[in-house]
Structure 1
């Protein structure tokens, strides 16, 4: 456990790469702006959301510099185009503390999602619209007051968006936002959203994935290990698996996020309802 001293430099390099891409796409035709948003920019942005996931556990600067992590997450947020990091931090803690908790864990789809998105075509639409559901679901399941950090997150993000628009025009802003929407929706990397906690086998609600996409997703595939030790940086989770291999090697895990998406769409037994939901007692209850 402890901070990952390389994380901040990796994140800064990714943010810089996206700023360079904004300069490069400003003169492209719209079809190529959208192509590169899906093929490159969105992949970087999705990776940055997973960097923000790591940073939310204070692994960039450590627990003693908690506020530094919050502010640095806003820098990682910049290429995503929409304010995200402060709200994610607020709700992600509940995901770990009350995994599957009814009206507490906003990672759990609503009853409407489970009821309506039940056919292959509808499940495909649900996957495409995942960013929308992740943004709106907290407002329905577990609304919380807006925090000061969320206000700062929005002010910083929209100020940079306006600066990019003023400097490079509309296309770079569309490139960033569209990439985030594309690659957080129907995209191979987004298979991790389904792979992590959807019950592909009864009795198992959390799964790991040990494939090559971990190289660009801060090892989020090591998800069982992450929930066991959330204060360990993603860069060290493979070491956790090696050290405790006798516990992890016998657990079911996924071989491919793309296969997870395929099975989710076409397996009639799997859908938004394929989650464990439990009643949880609040941690601060008497």
Structure 2
């Protein structure tokens, strides 16, 4: 056992960390809390002090033209590589430098579309998301929206926030080799985990997404060949792997490095350690570096969770307007560094997420959700 001194909000707390030979229930657990997620309260205070923030909400018409240019770039590169074998340096470099960067931008354009921030009408955002899904290679956009809405509404909820790693992932991938595998194949966890945690209703939007993407893939393979198709798929894989822009997946909500307050001994429920409010770490982190130019300012993540209906072009204005709320918050200074620190630093692991127990909602067990998409 060892004593740790932690300073938060001008207060100092001293507490004892678990011994190295403590039970697995104590050493390997998430930051369990009964506290509400922080964004609702901060949004309320910001609006009370800065009512002009309301004028920043709404869609951004410019975005659709930029997204179209990114899609054209990807399609043009796929055509250029149609006669280039995937197992060549040229193919890999173009897939990594152009393809992964472009597809990460398309992933995050679909993220903007999931908040209806490109068009006034929700249906137009859904259909445009399906259209720009083209270079991803697999139908993705229709399922992303309802799951992402749950992530915002139920941040940290054990069953409804599918951005959270599962307990099995924490047990299997929290050592160095496991974290290398997790960060390398992160896109698969991000894409496949939701369907194992929470089921959403299959709608006509999902059907259009599937039919459209299969049709596009068929045309690509038929007229350009498998090399072009493989370029799309490799671009998507690398976009969620060891790529600088992929650092945002970990940077946004993992409690890392000095923010990782050691957990207390479990009391009461053996499988969960509930962290007192005064020791609960921040659970959302912003990044203000240059990679935001390639990712629609997704690094402004505290700002985004506080006001999901402010478009990417106006998030810097929100931060400037309410700087007294955002400047004191912990920040991430390098997405590339985040990936490296996450893998190599023993204090960082998949357990480093804030979770809320959400098994019971209004007295009913959460099962299949009827979520409009």
- TM-score bucket (shorter structure): over 0.9
Contact 1:117 1:126 in 2 (8 A): yes
> Does 2:144 correspond to 1:66?
no
> Does 2:183 correspond to 1:105?
no
Aligned to 1:218: 296
Between structures 1 and 2, the one with greater strand share: 2
Report how many aligned residue pairs link the two structures.
283
> Does 2:126 correspond to 1:48?
no
Aligned to 2:253: 197
> Does 2:95 correspond to 1:17?
no
Contact 1:46 1:183 in 2 (8 A): yes
Structure 1 residue 148: Cα displacement: 1.7
Aligned to 1:186: 242
Aligned to 1:128: 184
Match of 1:135, SS?
helix
Contact 1:34 1:179 in 2 (8 A): no
Deviation string, structure 1 residues 233-270 (Cα, Å, up to 9, x no partner): 11111111111111111111011001111110011111
| C-alpha distance in 2 between matches for 1:122 and 1:47 | 27
| C-alpha distance in 1 between matches for 2:236 and 2:293 | 19
User: Aligned-pair RMSD on alpha carbons?
Assistant: 1.5
Q: When the two structures are superposed, what TM-score results if normalisation uses the length of structure 2?
A: 0.74
Aligned to 2:284: 206
Deviation string, structure 1 residues 28-61 (Cα, Å, up to 9, x no partner): 2321223311121111001110010011000010
Deviation string, structure 1 residues 13-33 (Cα, Å, up to 9, x no partner): 111111111221112232122
Contact 2:100 2:243 in 1 (8 A): no
| C-alpha distance in 2 between matches for 1:167 and 1:120 | 43
Q: List gaps (5 residues or longer) in structure 2.
A: 1-56, 262-280, 365-373
Once superposed, which parts of structure 1, at least 4 consecutive aligned residues long, lie more than 6 Å away?
A: none
Structure 1 residue 93: Cα displacement: 0.4
| C-alpha distance in 1 between matches for 2:252 and 2:362 | 24
| C-alpha distance in 2 between matches for 1:146 and 1:66 | 17
Aligned to 1:260: 338
Between structures 1 and 2, the one with greater helix share: 1
Range that drifts further, 202-211 or 32-41: 32-41
| C-alpha distance in 2 between matches for 1:147 and 1:274 | 34
Structure of larger gyration radius: 2
Range that drifts further, 275-284 or 33-42: 275-284
